[in-house]
Chains A and B, each alone.
Chain A
Amino acid sequence: MSELIELSAAQAVARLRAREIDASELFEAYRERAAADELNAFTWVASAAPEPVADTALCGVPVAVKDLFCTEGVPSQAGSRILEGYRPPYTATVVARLAAAGAPLLGKTNQDEFAMGSSNENSGFGPVLNPWDRSRVPGGSSGGSAAAVAAGLAPWAIGTDTGGSIRQPAALCGLVGVKPTYGACSRYGMIAFASSLDQAGPLTRDVTDAALLLSHMVGHDPMDSTSVAFPEPITLPSAEDLRGLRFGVPEELLGDQAGAGIEPGVRASFEATLALAEELGAEVDTCRLPHAPHALSAYYLIAPAEASANLARFDGVRYGSRVAGDRDLETMYSETRAAGFGPEVKRRIMLGTYALSSGYYDAFYGTALKVRTKIAEDFREAFRRFDFVVTPTSPWTAFPLGSKTDDPLAMYLNDFCTVPMPLAGIPAISLPSGLADGLPVGFQLAGPAFSENRLLEAAHALERAIGFDGSRARA
């Protein structure tokens, strides 16, 4: 059994194709581990392996799915008590595509409520523990997906990223995480947080697995008018060097002032990775993203504004819980939402409602949209000279549970290196660059829209040279 768990997903696919291992045995090995989960990573686990489908690309390697994705007949609660027990009548396109490609659903993973959080402590179903150190957070909001893959409870997983919700937990759990170009993956059936930012993507043990899983996620979907046909197939990376590539290190995020909040261990791992990149042939230089220091502010206006509108649908009428149903309509709405939403969701709804309210709309939301334009321009300008913009994914390694919950602003500041990319709609990948005090550190590369293949190639070359070993978290 344990040998099966040690295979990467791509290795498992190859062994299944060669009929050296059995798909139902592999599913059962993971199912047992997921069912015995001590990290609170899963909110639901399949009871049995599905009937095998012959001749599929992914050969039956199961996938763990963030609870934000609707799955027909299977609880889909988005980490919220307001959706407790909700079983949707349809399946999200991305999940359906993976199932058709031969990656059946292993289980649903815990998350920050409606994907709002960077620590998974905002789940209505309790926090997730980091398998590297169970007294610490796995990151968020896709914390359950990250913990499950890192701990070997799932071969791979999907999550969603709005301001860093795939890349940051991937970093804190020693995994690879990809936030694709906006529109690359269908959002149909993904419970909406901030619709202009939300994207689905993979969380995997290595870069090859990320490419393989992503290759079966992307594509136009008539059910999502913001989805686009990916211009080329996602291919498995093979690069072993970085010759001819230029890495830009943004001064505004990592300079003396802005970068002061980056932990020394994270900084050291980042610098070591840059040195390694140069050894592999890359040119590394400082780049400018003049508006990046304002990305966090723009993000924490735009995302809550969109959320305040999106979450209006949770009103006790069509699905989920209802409170005070014997009172008048408005009381029922207000009481249902008061009882069903957790404190962080309430904060963001209030913040978004304020940013959109008459008299403040232009000053807050309208200004944030203009900053968004400038941030996209900054990246376009940077990509004239550089192939990638690189940063540490998170300024901190996994922090102790409860250590930042009293200060929402401090928690938001965690996201300063991950929010600029979704605002610009561009893709980014986080890969483990090493350990700091025994905890994983993430290295982020961002590229122009639809540069996923190039990002994966560069990450592959780095991964080979770094030689990160995540097996300790699976022990």
Chain B
Amino acid sequence: MARLARLRLDDREVERMAAELSKVLDHVARVRELDLKGVPPTSHAVDMAGVMRADEPRPSLPVDVVLAAAPEPVDGGFGVPSPGPGGE
């Protein structure tokens, strides 16, 4: 799970979190006791769909402004390490 979340956890953290999350999951799993057959899911509390804004061109932020907070800008772009041999 930590790998899926791109989060390195050391053994101590894994142990502690497993115990804490088991307790939380035991509690939240009670929702499964409810009879919810035929109930539609709500992913959004306000009923709206397909909201579009006017398709009008407007200026973007300048590249140097966007890159100002990047840890490693390279040639006008965001620099990242090589995916490497173990990369996917």
Q: Is the Cβ of A332 less than 8 Å from the Cβ of B81?
A: yes
Of the candidates B9, B24, B39, B81, the one whose C-beta lies within 8 Å of that of A409 is B24
Complex alpha-carbon distance, A231 and B36, angstroms: 33
Which residues from chain B contact A374 at a C-beta distance below 8 Å?
Answer: 34, 36, 39
Q: A89-B65, A89-B69, A351-B24 are in contact. Are A337 and B82 (CB under 8 A)?
A: no
Q: Is the Cβ of B78 less than 8 Å from the Cβ of A449?
A: no
Q: A322-B72, A350-B2 are in contact. Are A328 and B7 (CB under 8 A)?
A: no
Complex alpha-carbon distance, A226 and B29, angstroms: 30
Contact code string A317-353 (vs B, CB < 8 Å = 1, else 0): 1111110011111111111011001010011011101
Which residues from chain B contact A372 at a C-beta distance below 8 Å?
Answer: 41-42, 45
Q: A222-B54, A328-B81, A368-B31 are in contact. Are A449 and B39 (CB under 8 A)?
A: no
Select the stretch in A96-104, A297-305, A434-442 that faces chain B: A297-305
Q: Is the Cβ of B23 less than 8 Å from the Cβ of A409?
A: yes
Q: Decide if A138 is an interface residue (CB 8 Å cutoff).
A: no
Which residues from chain B contact A369 at a C-beta distance below 8 Å?
Answer: 41-43
Q: A351-B21, A372-B41 are in contact. Are A363 and B69 (CB under 8 A)?
A: no
Q: Decide if B20 is an interface residue (CB 8 Å cutoff).
A: yes
Contact code string B20-37 (vs A, CB < 8 Å = 1, else 0): 110111011111101010
Which residues from chain B contact A333 at a C-beta distance below 8 Å?
Answer: 6
Number of interface residues of A (CB under 8 A): 75
Q: Decide if A366 is an interface residue (CB 8 Å cutoff).
A: yes
Q: Is the Cβ of A347 less than 8 Å from the Cβ of B17?
A: yes
Q: A196-B45, A226-B48 are in contact. Are A367 and B32 (CB under 8 A)?
A: yes
Q: Decide if B84 is an interface residue (CB 8 Å cutoff).
A: yes
A contact patch SS? helix
Q: Is the Cβ of B20 less than 8 Å from the Cβ of A347?
A: yes
Q: Which of B5-64 contact A (CB under 8 A)?
A: 5-9, 13, 17, 20-21, 23-25, 27-32, 34, 36, 39-46, 48, 51-54, 61
Closest to B85 in A: A328
Q: Is the Cβ of B17 less than 8 Å from the Cβ of A373?
A: no
Q: Is the Cβ of B69 less than 8 Å from the Cβ of A320?
A: yes
B11 to chain A: closest CB distance in Å? 13
Q: Decide if A383 is an interface residue (CB 8 Å cutoff).
A: no
Contact code string A406-445 (vs B, CB < 8 Å = 1, else 0): 0011001000000000111110000000000000000000
Q: Is the Cβ of A319 less than 8 Å from the Cβ of B83?
A: no
Q: A89-B65, A294-B30, A354-B21 are in contact. Are A373 and B4 (CB under 8 A)?
A: no
Q: Is the Cβ of A87 less than 8 Å from the Cβ of B69?
A: yes
Closest to A221 in B: B53
Q: Decide if A265 is an interface residue (CB 8 Å cutoff).
A: no
Complex alpha-carbon distance, A86 and B69, angstroms: 7
A416 to chain B: closest CB distance in Å? 11
Of the candidates A327, A353, A368, A370, the one whose C-beta lies within 8 Å of that of B5 is A353
5 pairs of A and B residues whose beta carbons are closest in the complex: A425-B45, A328-B84, A369-B41, A322-B71, A297-B28
